[in-house]
Amino acid sequence: MTQDNAEPALVAHARAGSADAFGRLVQMHQQALRAFLRRLCANAADADDLAQETFVFAWEHMARFDTTRSFRPWLFGIAWRKLRERKRSWLRLMRRETRAAEAAEAIYHPDPGLRLDLSKAAGTLPAEQRAAVLLCLACEFSHAEAAQALALPLGTVKSHVARGREKLIAALEGKNG
């Protein structure tokens, strides 16, 4: 049985939940998919990560696959969308970091000692609280965005930010007071 003849049967079995059938589909398309992504990505590691994300997504959404279509274009379409999502996310992050850096330079030029004090004070916060403070105050995330990123309830993030800010202020006033 050729690859073209085997694919519809493997797709049907994979849609029915067969991990073995899906594994064979991965084997059939992995090399070409990774080559496609490596040509589009900055480095091979990113391409390999995207290929893995693509296969995971395809496995999780096999039930939605339209069996009147070919599997390979569907799979490569997922990879293309994953790549575009990653690039958009990266661009948003770069814009956000650039705006934050420009705003910080335009508004405030702390002395190096104060930066070290702030860094040291932030290091004393519990991990979740520190992450919430850094996302909301340093990275300009909204509370809702930080809650989503940290997989925490919105109220918890708001509480972490408020308490963390108070602790940082108290720590810095103690050093300067």
Beta strands in the chain (DSSP E): none
Give pLDDT, residue 172: 79
Distance CA 158, CA 142 (A): 10
- Domain coordinates of the chain in residue numbers? 3-91, 110-176
Distance CA 136, CA 38 (A): 34
62-79 confidence digits (pLDDT tens): 998 988 888 988 999 999
State the CB neighbour count (10 A cutoff) for residue 66. Answer: 7
Torsion of CA 151, 153, 159, 164, to 10 degrees: 0
Residues in the chain predicted with pLDDT less than 50, given as ranges, are 1, 177
Nearest one of 68, 96, 71 to 10, comparing CA atoms: 71
Give pLDDT, residue 163: 93
Give pLDDT, residue 9: 94
Give pLDDT, residue 17: 93
Give pLDDT, residue 116: 60
The CATH architecture to which 3-91 belongs is: Orthogonal Bundle (1.10)
The CATH number, out of the four listed (1.10.10.10, 3.30.465.10, 3.60.21.10, 1.20.1050.10), of the domain defined by the range 110-176: 1.10.10.10
Distances from the Cα of 167 to the Cα of 34, 112, 121, 161, 171, angstroms? 48, 20, 8, 10, 6
